[in-house]
Structure 1
Amino acid sequence: MIMNRQKFLKASTLLAASAFLFQGTHGLAETKKIRVAVIGVNGMGWSNLMAILKNKNVICTALCDVDENVLNQRVAELDKRNIKVQSYIDYRDLLKDKNVDAVIIATPDHWHCLMMVDAVKAGKHVYIEKPIGNSVKECEVMVTAAQKHNAIVQVGQWQRSQQHFEDAMKFLHGGSLGKVRMVKVWAYLGWKKDVPILPDTAIPSGVHYDRWLGPAPKRPFNRNRFHFNFRWFWDYAGGLMTDWGVHMLDFALIGMNVSDPRSIMAAGGKFAYPDDVEETPDTLTTLYEFDGFNVQWEHAIGIDQGPYNKGHGVAFIGNNGTLVLNRQGWEVLPEGNRMEAVPLQKAKDDGLERHMNNFVEAIFTQNRTILKAPIEAGAHIAILSQMGNIAYRTGKKLYWNKEKQQFSDKEANRYLAAAYHNGYTYPKI
C-alpha cells in the first residue's frame, strides 16, 4: 500500500518543531570528523565528494563503484592528494565498514531506493542524488525508512542552499507581483546531442554489469545505456522530466506554497532526434493544474534558447510583473508601469558547497530540522515529476486523488511502482 504523502509531509513539519536525537553511527565523538564514503564515483558522485571535502570537518574513507576502471582511477586521484581510502565493488560491503559515518549515493536512479534504505538501516547518514527514487512508491518507501531509522538524509537539490534562490522567494512572497496566474518552468539543453544506435557488446573488463543492472530488467550490455546515458531509458530513470524537473519545479511549488496538483497533462516526443536510441522524450510540455493558476513544464534537447533567453529557469507571471529565476540569478520584469523593475541579482555563492556544509552541520548538531533539502522535500518533488512522465506515457489528462494518493485512472496507477527484477524486491521497512 502506498503511504499517504500528506502524512509524511505533515511528519516533516512536526520534525521541524523539535530537536532530532542522533541514533546512528557513534564514531564522531572519537574522530571529530565525519567519515564519508561515496557510492557511484563516475560523475556527480565525484563532484559531490570534491565539494564536501572542502569542509575541514570531513574526511573520505571509502569509495564504491561497480566499474573497476572508474573506481581505480578515483582511488588513484585521491592517493595523489594523500587521501587513502578503502575501495569496494559491492555497496553492501561498504555499509559494513565501521569507518564510515555517512554515504553519498550517486548511482543511476533505479538503485537509489535500495541503497538509501540499506544505508539508514546500517546506521549511516545519507546524501542522495536527485531524483531520490525512480517511482512514486520508491519515494514513499525511502521517506518511511529515513524517519524510522532517525537518519539525517539530504537530497542533492542544492539550489535550496543558494542565497539568491532564497532571496527570490522572499521577494515573491512579498506580493509585489500581484496575483500570479501562471508559472513557467523549463530546461533547454543545447549541448545534448543524439545517442546513435550501437550494437550490444561483450561486457567490458572490470565492469560488474549484473550489479549495475540490479533491480532493472536483464538486458545485454550496450554502451549507450551505461554511465551518463542511463538517464534516457525508462528502466533506470525518467529523462529530463525528473533529471532537471526536480530542480526547477521544486521552486515553482515553494514559490506558490502548494503541494498536490488537481490534474496533469503532457505531450511531446522524440522530435529532435527521432531515430536515436533514447526512450524518454527529447521535447515535452507538461501542464499541472492548481486552484487559481497553472504550472507549465517544458524541456527541449538540442536547443539553448529557452523562455526569456535562458537555458533553464522558473518564471512567476503575475499581474504586475514577472520574476525570472535560475542558477545565475533572478530579476523582475515589470508589466508596463505597474511596478518597478528589479535588475539581475546575480548568484554570489557555490550552491553545492553550501549544500554540503548544511549536511555536515546537520550531522554535527544532530539536528535534521536544519536540512535545506530533507528526504520529505526530495520525495515530494520527485513524485510531482513522476506525475508528468506518467501523463506523457499514458497520453491522458490525469486527475490526482490527494486522499488516496493515486490517480483516478487504473492505467496510470500501474506506473506508481517500478517493477523489480533479478531477485530484487522492495525493501521492507
Structure 2
Amino acid sequence: MAAPGASDKIRVGFIGLGGQGTGRLNEFLKHPDVEAVAVCDVDQKHVERAAGIVEKARGVKPEIFHDYRKLLERKDIDAVMVGTPDHWHALPTVQACQAGKDVFVEKPLCYSIGEGRAMANAAQKHSRVTQMGNHIHNDLPNYRRVVEMVQSGKLGKINRVYCAMASGEKSLGKPADTAPPPELDYDFWQGPAPKRPYNPNRSHFTYRYFWDYSSGYFIDFWCHYADVAYWALDLKAPKNVSAAGGRWLVDDNAETPDTLEVLYEYPELVLSWTLHPKGRPGYEHMGSCVIFEGTEATLVTNYNRNEIWAKGKLAPDFPRPEPSIPNSPGHIREFLDAVKSRKPTTCNIDYGYRLTKGGLLGVIAFRTGERIYWDDQKEKIIGKSKGHDLVSRKYRKPWKLS
C-alpha cells in the first residue's frame, strides 16, 4: 500500500471507543485530511456513539465493527488509533503493523515489558509509522523549555530527579459482582487477561485499578511525568528498582496502590517516584511535578510551568538558554504528517517502549516486594526473582501475541 501524499486523505480506523478513545476520535476529526472510515468496540453503546460522532462531523457513517481483526482486513485503511484499555494495546498494534497499517496507540504503551518488545519489533519489521499518544510530550511547549534548560548544563550536574504525583484518589466502593450489561461482550473485553466475574469497577474507566488490566495511577502518569526526565536526560533502563506502598487511603475493591514510593538507580543518577495526595513535600504549590536537582540549581516543573531555585531561594532571573526545540503541531497532527512523509514521530513506539518499560519495572518491584536488578541488553531480571513471571504475561487462550 502506497503512503498517502501530502494533500491526500488518510483513512483511519478507530479501535477502542470508551472515554479516552472517543476523545481521540474527536481530536482526529478536527483534521480535514482524516477520513474516519471504521469504528470498533466490544461495547455496542460505545461503537454506536462513535459512529454518530463521525456521521455528524463528516456526513458519512463509518463501518461498524465489534472485532478489530475484521477492521484490519480492510485494505483501504492507512492507519489505526488504538484507544483500548491497557491490556488490549499490544494485540491490535502488532496485528495492525502486520497488516501494513500505521498505528497511533494510547499510553501507557503496553501492559507488560514483553508486549512492548513485540510492539517495537513489529513496527520495525513492517516499517510502520507509530505514535504513542502523549499529549503533554507534544502539545504543550513547557516540557521543551525544561529539556533545553537541563541539557544546557546551567543547572550543573544532575544526579537526582524526583517525580511526584498528587493522586487524590476517591473510593470506587465495593459493588457486588453481577452479570455484564447486554451491550458489552465481556469475554472479548477481557481478551488475553484472566477470566474473572464481571464487576462494574473492573471495566471501562476504572479497569485501570485492577492488576489484570493495568497498573493504576502510577503507570498512567509515569508516562506523563517521567517522560520529561527520560527526554531531557536521555535515560535508558534503570540498573535496579525498589518500591513500597499500598492501597491505604481509600476503602474499595480496587487493587493498585494509592500510596507509592519507587526508587530507581540509573547510571550516574537516582530517580524517585512519589504517589501521594499532596505530591512532593516542599513543592505542594506545584502539585504533580518533576524536580531536577543539579549542583548549581534545582528546576521544578509541572505540565504548564517551571521554576528554578538556587541557594535555597526562588531564582526568577536565573539565566536560561534560548528556545531551540521546535514546537510540535500536536501529537495527532505530528502522526498524520508522519504517515504522509514516513518520517518518525518524536514519541514513537521505540521511545514509548523505553519510557513505559521503566514504569513497568517499578510495577514489578512493587508487586514482588523485591529489589529488581535488570539486564537491559538481555531484557531480563538478573537472578532469582518472582518478577520473571511479570516481565511477560501468559495470555488466556485462544489469544496469542506473535
User: What letter is aligned with 1:108?
Assistant: P
Q: Deviations over 1:187-207 (max 9, x none)?
A: 2132x3111111111121111
Distance 1:32 1:401 in 2: 45
Do 1:320 and 1:339's aligned partners in 2 also have CA atoms closer than 8 Å? no
Determine the structure 2 residue equivalent to 1:285.
261
Q: Deviations over 1:266-312 (max 9, x none)?
A: 00001111x31111111100000123321001113xx2555522332
Determine the structure 1 residue equivalent to 2:249.
272
Distance 1:327 1:337 in 2: 22
Distance 2:317 2:199 in 1: 52
Determine the structure 1 residue equivalent to 2:149.
171
- Superposed structure 1 runs of 4+ greater than 6 Å apart: none
User: What letter is aligned with 1:364?
Assistant: K
Determine the structure 1 residue equivalent to 2:28.
52
CA shift, 1:394, in A, is: 1.2
User: What letter is aligned with 2:61?
Assistant: K
Q: Deviations over 1:329-356 (max 9, x none)?
A: 2221222479764599xxxxxx996111
SS at match of 2:174: coil
Query: 1:55-134 counterparts in 2 under 5 A?
Result: 55-81=31-57, 82-134=59-111
Determine the structure 2 residue equivalent to 1:219.
196
Unmatched segments (≥5 aa) in structure 2: 321-326
Q: Per the alignment, do residues 157 and 77 of structure 1 end up closer, same or farther by CA in structure 2, a change over 3 Å counting? A: closer
Determine the structure 2 residue equivalent to 1:3.
none
Count of residue pairs the alignment pairs up? 392
CA shift, 1:159, in A, is: 2.4
Q: Deviations over 1:152-204 (max 9, x none)?
A: 111112222232211210111111111223101122132x3111111111121
Determine the structure 1 residue equivalent to 2:323.
none
Do 1:51 and 1:352's aligned partners in 2 also have CA atoms closer than 8 Å? no
Query: 1:28-427 counterparts in 2 under 5 A?
Result: 28=4, 32-81=8-57, 82-161=59-138, 162-190=140-168, 192-273=169-250, 275-300=251-276, 303=277, 306-307=280-281, 308=283, 309-336=285-312, 341=317, 354-368=330-344, 371-408=345-382, 409-427=384-402
Do 1:189 and 1:311's aligned partners in 2 also have CA atoms closer than 8 Å? no
CA shift, 1:377, in A, is: 0.5
Deviates more, 1:69-78 or 1:103-112: 69-78
Distance 2:88 2:134 in 1: 18
Q: Per the alignment, do residues 262 and 353 of structure 1 end up closer, same or farther by CA in structure 2, a change over 3 Å counting? A: same
Distance 2:128 2:377 in 1: 27
Q: Deviations over 1:82-140 (max 9, x none)?
A: 24211111111111123321110010111111110111111111000111111111100
Determine the structure 2 residue equivalent to 1:5.
none
Q: Deviations over 1:389-408 (max 9, x none)?
A: 11111111222223332222
Unmatched segments (≥5 aa) in structure 1: 1-24, 345-350
Q: Deviations over 1:39-78 (max 9, x none)?
A: 1111111121222222222121111110001111222233
Do 2:240 and 2:265's aligned partners in 1 also have CA atoms closer than 8 Å? yes
Distance 2:72 2:269 in 1: 46
| CA RMSD in angstroms, aligned pairs only | 2.3
Distance 2:346 2:6 in 1: 27
SS at match of 1:251: helix
Q: Per the alignment, do residues 89 and 155 of structure 1 end up closer, same or farther by CA in structure 2, a change over 3 Å counting? A: same
SS at match of 1:244: helix
Do 1:131 and 1:242's aligned partners in 2 also have CA atoms closer than 8 Å? yes
Distance 1:404 1:30 in 2: 40
